[in-house]
């Protein structure tokens, strides 16, 4: 019980198979409090599946998944895990298209999630200020009353990042956040994530190497469901196996 006391996320010996195909194979990953971890790896390496396991969407066949050093996530469902303080941004932007940008954030805002507290919820001045602040951070303030369906791909990504911020989680799982963003937007995103990781743990999955370099964090390279290499980006990208299996392609 000592290995995982000071961790925000602790995965050990995790495996999951889909119809006999091992998508995750004896995976071990540790994320410390207020630490950022970038995960790279070829398509089909199991990066998204790993997030599915952490957030309760997929049950692992074996292994340990602990949050905050003590909570066993494999026993909980999606809503319970989200309420523990784990927020997720999906690979394909998943915002609520028939709601306005504002309403998307209001629903995400960290507030009691019970039926009756939701039914009788009225935004307090603090809530309005917080949502406005997030809208400014993700640069959607001018579009707050528009339906999320009308946003561009990159703006949907930003909105989803905004929803993550609104949830105020302890651990953020961010799957390919900069797909569809311009170079300057990508830089902004890296800056924002670096800022967030000062106080929270962040796991970022991304294929964009210059973005990963901007993050300046520890890097793990996954392949075929397990860790191929780990270290700084320079160490990992100098690793001959990583070059052969991922970067060299």
CA nearest 153: which of 97, 214, 213, 209? 97
Residue 149 touches which of ligand ATP, another protein, Mg ion, none (CB < 5 to 8 A by kind)? another protein
Instruction: Please report whether residue 157 would count as binding another protein according to CB under 8 A.
Output: no
Taking CB under 8 A as the criterion, which residues in 173-212 touch another protein? none
How far apart are the C-alpha atoms of 107 and 105, rounded to whole Å?
5
Taking CB under 5 A as the criterion, which residues in 53-82 touch Mg ion? none
How far apart are the C-alpha atoms of 48 and 23, rounded to whole Å?
10
Among 17, 35, 90, 213, contact with another protein (rule: CB under 8 A): 90
Taking CB under 8 A as the criterion, which residues in 45-84 touch another protein? 48, 52, 55, 57, 77-79, 82-83
Strands 171-175 and 71-72: unpaired
Least distance between ligand ATP and beta carbon 217 (Å): 18
DSSP 120: T
- Cβ distance to another protein smaller for residue 82 or 209: 82
Q: Are 165 and 85 in contact (CB under 8 A)?
A: no
Taking CB under 6 A as the criterion, which residues in 61-90 touch ligand ATP? none
Instruction: Please report whether residue 163 would count as binding another protein according to CB under 8 A.
Output: yes
SS3 30: strand
CB-count exposure of residue 51 (10 Å: 0-12, 13-18, 19+): buried
- Cβ distance to Mg ion smaller for residue 7 or 48: 48
Q: How many residues bind another protein (CB under 8 A)?
A: 35
Sign of the dihedral through C-alpha 149, 193, 211, 135: positive
Least distance between Mg ion and beta carbon 92 (Å): 9
Q: Are 65 and 58 in contact (CB under 8 A)?
A: no
DSSP 238: H
Residues at the site binding Mg ion, with contacts judged by CB under 5 A: 47-48, 91
Residues at the site binding another protein, with contacts judged by CB under 8 A: 48, 52, 55, 57, 77-79, 82-83, 88, 90-92, 94, 96-99, 103, 106-108, 113, 115, 118-122, 146-147, 149-150, 163, 167
């Amino acid at each position: 019980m000592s290995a995982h006391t000071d961790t925000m996320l602790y995965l050990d010996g995790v495996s999951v198979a889909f119809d006999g195909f091992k998508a995750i194979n004896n995976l071990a990953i540790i994320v410390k409090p207020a630490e950022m971890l970038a995960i790279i790896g070829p398509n089909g390496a199991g990066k998204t599946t790993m997030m599915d396991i952490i957030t309760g969407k997929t049950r692992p066949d074996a292994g340990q998944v602990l949050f905050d050093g003590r909570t066993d996530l494999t026993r909980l469902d999606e809503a319970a895990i989200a309420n523990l303080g784990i927020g997720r941004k999906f690979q394909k932007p998943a915002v609520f298209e028939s709601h306005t940008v504002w309403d998307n954030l209001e629903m995400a805002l960290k507030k009691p999630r019970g039926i009756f507290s939701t039914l009788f919820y009225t935004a307090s001045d603090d809530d309005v200020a917080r949502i406005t602040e997030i809208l400014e951070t993700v640069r959607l303030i001018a579009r707050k009353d528009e339906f999320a369906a009308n946003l561009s791909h990159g703006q949907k990504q930003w909105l989803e990042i905004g929803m993550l911020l609104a949830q105020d989680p302890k651990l953020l799982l961010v799957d390919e956040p900069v797909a569809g963003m311009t170079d300057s937007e990508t830089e902004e995103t890296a800056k924002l994530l670096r800022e967030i990781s000062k106080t929270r743990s962040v796991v970022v999955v991304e294929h964009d190497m210059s973005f990963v370099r901007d993050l300046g964090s520890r890097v793990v390279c996954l392949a075929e469901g397990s860790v191929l290499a780990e270290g700084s980006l320079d160490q990992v990208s100098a690793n001959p196996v990583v070059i052969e299996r991922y970067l060299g392609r």
